[in-house]
Structures are given as C-alpha cells and as structure tokens.
Structure 1
Amino acid sequence: MRKIAVFTGSRADYGIMRWVIQRIQESDGLTLSLIVSGSHLSAAHGSTWRAIAEDGLVIDHKIHIDLDDDSRLGIACTLAAAIKGISEVLERDQPDILVVLGDRYEMFAAAQSAMILGIPIAHIHGGESTEGAIDEAIRHAVTKMAHLHFTAAEPYRQRGIQLGEAPARVFNVGAPGLDNLRRLSLMARKDLEDLIGIDLGPPLFLITYHPETVSDDDPAKGIAELLCALDAFPEATMLFTKANADMHGAAVNERIEGYVAERGDRTALFPSLGQRPYLSALAMADAVIGNSSSGIIEAPSLGTPTVNIGTRQDGRLRAASVIDCDTNEAAIARAIRDALDNRAGRTVVSGTNPYDQGEASGRIVEILRSVDLNGLMNKRFHDIPVGATQP
C-alpha cells in the first residue's frame, strides 16, 4: 500500500488541499498520513485543527511550534524548530511521497526535511509569482526540492520547466481549492448570520489583510490606510479574518481589533471563519478586500469583485473581476467604490477564471496513485536553450 503523507500548517493551505486529502483517504491503494502543525494548533489563530477532525479526517501527527515571536529572528527560529519536529515524524513514518502546498515557511521546513531524508516531494501551486512576499523565494525553492509538480495554470507550468524541472513531471491541473465550490453546499444568509451573530446587511465587505513581508515599510501603515479607507463606508457590514502567522501579523491583527471595538455591531473579526462559512460569506459579499490569494483564485468563480491592495499578489494571473490598487487610503476607497458601482465580478461566467479547470484534486490523486516511484528521486536539470520554445 502506497503511503502518502500530507503536511498542513494553516487554515489557508488546508482549505485548498481539503479534497486532495479526502480523495487520498478514500483511494484504493493509498494510505493517508496527515501531519498537522503551525497555526492549526494555535488558540490565537482559531485552533483550526478541530475543523480538520470535524471533516472526518484522522490527524496522524501534530507538531507544535512556537508562533509567539513574529519578528524576522523569531520566524527563523520557528523554521528551525519546525524542521526538527517534521524530520522526526517523517523518519518514523517513512511515507512514499510527501505532499506540500505553496510557499509558507512551514512548508519550506517540511520540504527541507523530506529532501534530506530522501522522501519524494509533490508540490501543489508551484510556479506562481507573488512579488510582495517572501513566499516568492520559498515557493521557487520548494519547486527545486520537489519531484512532482501540480500547477494551477499553464503559465505556471511553463515557469516550473523554466526553473529546470522535467516537463513530464510538471502537471497543469488547475487550483484544487476551487473544488470546494463544487463540493460544498454554501450557507443561506440567515444561517450564516445565526452562526456568527451579526446582521449581514449590504454592502457586505469580507476583508483579509496580511503584512507585505518583503517591504521595509512599517507593517502597521498598510493596515492603517485600509482602515481609514473603510471609514468612507459607514453603512457597510465588515467581516475581517485575521492575518496569517507571518512576520508582523500580530501588529496587523492588533490594529484590526481596535477598529472593530470602536466601530461596533456591524463589524467583526474572526481568527478563522471556517471553510464553509468563509466561502458562503465570500459568495454573499459585495466586495472582498485586502491582499489574500482567495480574492485572486476563489472570488472570481463566485462572481464577487476583488479589491486587491498593494504588491503581495503581484505576478499572479487575474480575472477581470480583480481591481488592483495602491496601499494608500484614497486609492483603496476609490477601488471599493468601483467594485460597488459596477459589480465587476458579478459578470464573471464559467471559463473566465484562469485557475478553474475542474476537479483538480482528482487529477492530483490519480497521479500520486499511479506514478512510478522507481527513479523518482533522481532529478536532472532540464535545460532550455536561449530563445527556444518550452514544451
């Protein structure tokens, strides 16, 4: 029986990989080993490991890491501790393949551990570019450590090959997080209101803002500009979700907490809404605001316009419903008005989301099930002559 280990370190990557994990668990010929770490195990970030268990998945390993210090040195020390904990689990578990997603430092730790231990790595959402975050460097580094690549669009497949990966090992499957929209029944507005205890009257804003981790700017400045811009919409209902456990994420969350306390009843902040409530709110929202990848990848398929702030998502493909703006108050307010005035995302139809190719999770799991493990660890750099067309 082929054992597939999956590492998840946050609500974000679990939400994207949920149906990949579920399909591995249900697949004949595969055994799932689920490794949970990072903010999943943090009360401050919502203890989101509980949502995994509620989805009927067995958590095989929990690796606790200290997330209290979100300075650069603190993150570096957390990374070192994560490598130690993950390496010990992988050495005991001996999976045939380790699945990781994207670009967070916890994933970087998991990939380094597997590489040194000689465990093949399958990487989801590689080849993308996000110029406003250290995620950019981590993502490409994980690509070079990995042996199988599942990209979300053809340009990202081409970039993986450009990085020297063999074309036969780089698969364009689409974004697996979109499988949630096909498989989950979204909540009615009244049901969501009852769950979170707030009236969701229009206009409804769903807001997530993360620090720009490669910027030298004061991390509090960007969130301050956003909050000032939101003051121009006193009639709006605002649902905030907390920033990731990134560098300076605590400072961002502290500013939001103060804003919510001052504004009162039509504003709320959640460590994590949970997958189904979050997607339901995303579908109902008049605009999704901030710099989260969900505004780039999921929101267009739901017909919700996105106000994408700053450079964190620079380099990613965009649907027509995404409105980009600078990180100053006036630009943000203007972009929100544009979203409300023309309801840009409401005109999105099937086929216009560049990440949606249908049932990515099924394609990923079939490749994990059928790929020949013999020689998988052996990699050769795939050279592309200057000026040549890529495969």
Structure 2
Amino acid sequence: MSIKICVFTGSRAEYGLLFPLISALKTRSGYTLQILVSGTHLSTEFGLTYKQIEEDGFCINEKVEMLLSADSDTAIVKSTGIALMGYADALSRLNPDWLLLLGDRFEAFAAATAAHLKKIPVVHLHGGEITEGATDDALRHAISKMSYLHFTSTESHRRRVIQLGEEPFRVFNVGAIGIDNIKQLKLLSKAQLEASLNFSIGEDCILVTFHPVTLESHTATAQLHDLLGVLNKFPELKVVFTLPNADAEGRALIEMIRHFVSENQLRAVSFTSLGQLRYLSLMRLVKAVVGNSSSGIIEAPSFGVPTLNIGDRQKGRERAESVLDVSHEPKAIEEGLNKVLSQTFQDFARTVNNPYGNGDSTIKILNILDQFKQPLDLKKTFFDL
C-alpha cells in the first residue's frame, strides 16, 4: 500500500531546505508525494516562488492563498485564520496519510493545526529549537505538540522535544536537512554565479539577510537603519541582500534595503529570492553572512564561512564557534564586522565543526518513515521526565 505524504511549504527558504527530501519522496517506492503550497510562494510581492517548485519538476497538488498584503501583527493574525480555512479544504481534498512540514512560521502553524484537528498525523522537522526573539519560538513548540513524528537537527533539540512530553520512540535526531543541499547540489562557480546575478561579487563580499525581531514592537526599522549605517563605513565591501519574509514590519525593511541599493548600485544588490542553488553558491563565496537569519547559523558553518549574528532573533539557537553574536548597536556591529572579516577569524571559521550534522538527513528520515505505517494510534502518552 502506498503512503500518501503531503509536504507543506509556505516560503522560499523552507522549500529550499525541504528540496532534497521532496526529491527523494518523489521516487521513493511505497510513497505518493503530494505538495501543498501557500504563503509567500503565491505572492507577486515576494516573487511568485511557486514557479520555482514547478521548474524543479514537481507537481503542486494544492495552492492556498492566505497572505494579506499588510505589514502589521493584525494582518499576520488574519492571514493565519484565512490559512486555517483554506488548509482545511485542501487537506480534505488531498486526504493524506501524513502531513510533513518544517519549522515554525505562522503558515506552518496553521497547517499543523488543520491537520491535527482533522486527525492527520504530522511529521515535524526542526522542532526543539529556541529563537527567543521571535514569535516563531512558541509556534514551533506548539507544532511539536501537534505532531506525531519528530526529526530534530541536534541531540539537544531532540532532548528538548522529549522534555515537552513527546515519547522518545517518536523523536529522532537526524541533523539539519539544509546541510544535505550543501553536500548534494553542484554549486555554481564564481563566474557562473556572477553571470546569473548580473553582479560582480569581487573578492570582498558579504551576504546580508535581516528579518524583524517579531517579539519586539517597532524596532526593526531602527535596527536595520543602524546596520545600513555601519555598511556605509565599509565602502569597499560588496553587499548582496536577500529580502525579508512576510513578517510584521517586513515590508518596511524591504523598502529600506531597496533605497540603500539604489544609492549604492556599484556595490550592492538585492533579491526577493535567489533560489537554493544560487543562495548556497553565494554563501560559499562570501567573506561573511551578516544579519539574523537561521541560515547563517545552520548552513554557513558547513562552508567554513563566518557569521555575524545581530540582535536577539536567533537567541538561544545552538551554534558553531564561527558564529559571532553582537547587539544591534552600531558600535557592536562595526566591531563585529571588522572581526569576522579579519584574516584570523576567516582562518578560524574554516576549522570549526558544525553541530547540525553531515548532510545525511534525507536518508535517515526516509528509513525512519518506513518503520511507521498506517493506521496509527494518534492517542499519544505524555512522557513525563
């Protein structure tokens, strides 16, 4: 009997991480792959990235539009409500045996809630992590409690999911699936990448992604203003920005970045979506990853590339020693940038171990899924430490 497994994706970054697993499920004997697409994938404003999924050769079974074009907490709450209604209908049509999703965003929270209430077992990747500066932190733990199978990125994250009361036989440390892409993709050469970007990254380039710290109110624009001010003190540095996701204040940040690029056209460029191949190819070639994105913590160390992590968005997340944490104050950012760009720190970053695994998450996940066949008893016992 073939198991229908529905993979949910609501953002470009999440899809990029899931790509190796989706590819494997497409050809895996005993599974029928379904793909449910939502969130920024369907937004013109954020690049209509569902087209990339189709270009990669996947069939999208359901598209659920749910994202309001507004930049407030209220819009996020309303979008979550719209998503719940849309996912209820989509899951009724698909009737999957499993719903598989990754992470902690509000789109994924709504999908997990819909599946949980419809008695569809949820497979959750990247549970047990901590990001104390983001609303995603609580959503991630809530998704874990609504999930049946858990694939965590480190052993400490596995223990934390068990601490939430999940039975150990359903919780597995498989490493971070994003590392699989680093091991499997044939990355672009510098010349190929520059041609694709229509931008010369030169010898000294940084990759910058800055998201709102969603548990703070109205701080994002001031913090990005400080970061951009520091970047003006490094006129020789090339800068490639990837634009923020659909969080509260995100659109204001996008406008600020585009204004900075317009005033620094010879050394700065921004992209709504680079796609996983160009993004990882660029990460491999830059001097540092700067901002507050999880990719600077999870993927960058596997390339031996330093990360300057700014502020509290990723506070609490396990990290390699090549990740340098600084406050959002201009002086701290400037000192931190000088440090990660120094030859000493560049050399050091190439020696560190990445705690997020070795790039074999996909095969581990598939082998474990093979052990859990339908029908399942979804009445879980709370595991009390």
TM-score, scaled to structure 1: 0.96
Secondary structure of the residue aligned to 2:370 is helix
2:267 equivalent in structure 1: 266
Matched residue type, 1:99: L
1:235 equivalent in structure 2: 236
Secondary structure of the residue aligned to 2:324 is strand
Which digits, 9 at most, give the CA deviation of each residue in 1:113-170, with x for residues without a partner? 0011000000000000000100000000000000000000000000000000000000
Contact 2:175/2:358 (<8 A) preserved: yes
Q: State the Cα distance separating 1:328 from its structure 2 match.
A: 1.2
- CA RMSD across the alignment: 1.3
2:337 equivalent in structure 1: 336
CA distance in 2, matches of 1:27, 1:240: 36
CA distance in 2, matches of 1:147, 1:184: 30
Which digits, 9 at most, give the CA deviation of each residue in 1:49-94, with x for residues without a partner? 1111121111111111233112111110000001111110101111
Secondary structure of the residue aligned to 1:201 is coil
Contact 2:181/2:359 (<8 A) preserved: no
Secondary structure of the residue aligned to 1:377 is coil
> Comparing 333-342 with 120-129, which one deviates more in the overlay?
333-342
Which digits, 9 at most, give the CA deviation of each residue in 1:196-255, with x for residues without a partner? 111111210100000000013432111001101111110111000100111110011111
2:77 equivalent in structure 1: 76
Ranges in structure 2 where 5+ consecutive residues have no aligned partner: none
CA distance in 1, matches of 2:245, 2:261: 18
CA distance in 2, matches of 1:349, 1:204: 17
1:221 equivalent in structure 2: 222
Matched residue type, 2:369: L
2:208 equivalent in structure 1: 207
Q: State the Cα distance separating 1:349 from its structure 2 match.
A: 5.7
Matched residue type, 1:276: L
Contact 2:306/2:349 (<8 A) preserved: no
> Comparing 107-116 with 366-375, which one deviates more in the overlay?
366-375
Contact 1:286/1:343 (<8 A) preserved: no
2:320 is the alignment partner of 1:285: no
Structure 1 moving runs of 4+ over 4 Å: 348-351
Secondary structure of the residue aligned to 1:370 is coil
1:196 equivalent in structure 2: 197
Ranges in structure 1 where 5+ consecutive residues have no aligned partner: 385-391
Matched residue type, 1:313: Q
2:188 equivalent in structure 1: 187
Matched residue type, 1:310: G
> Comparing 198-207 with 145-154, which one deviates more in the overlay?
198-207
Matched residue type, 1:176: I
CA distance in 2, matches of 1:191, 1:360: 28
Contact 1:320/1:345 (<8 A) preserved: no
CA distance in 2, matches of 1:217, 1:248: 7
Matched residue type, 1:47: L
Map residues 295-314 of structure 1 onto 2, 5 A cutoff. 295-314=296-315
CA distance in 2, matches of 1:163, 1:345: 38
CA distance in 2, matches of 1:275, 1:211: 22
2:110 equivalent in structure 1: 109
Q: State the Cα distance separating 1:361 from its structure 2 match.
A: 1.1
Secondary structure of the residue aligned to 1:239 is strand
Q: How many residues align?
A: 384
Contact 2:38/2:66 (<8 A) preserved: yes
Q: State the Cα distance separating 1:299 from its structure 2 match.
A: 0.2
Secondary structure of the residue aligned to 1:157 is helix
Map residues 24-43 of structure 1 onto 2, 5 A cutoff. 24-43=25-44
Tell me the percent identity.
44
Q: State the Cα distance separating 1:350 from its structure 2 match.
A: 7.9
TM-score, scaled to structure 2: 0.97
Contact 2:213/2:219 (<8 A) preserved: no
> Comparing 334-343 with 175-184, which one deviates more in the overlay?
334-343
Secondary structure of the residue aligned to 1:19 is helix
1:251 equivalent in structure 2: 252
1:54 equivalent in structure 2: 55
CA distance in 1, matches of 2:15, 2:347: 27
Secondary structure of the residue aligned to 1:246 is coil
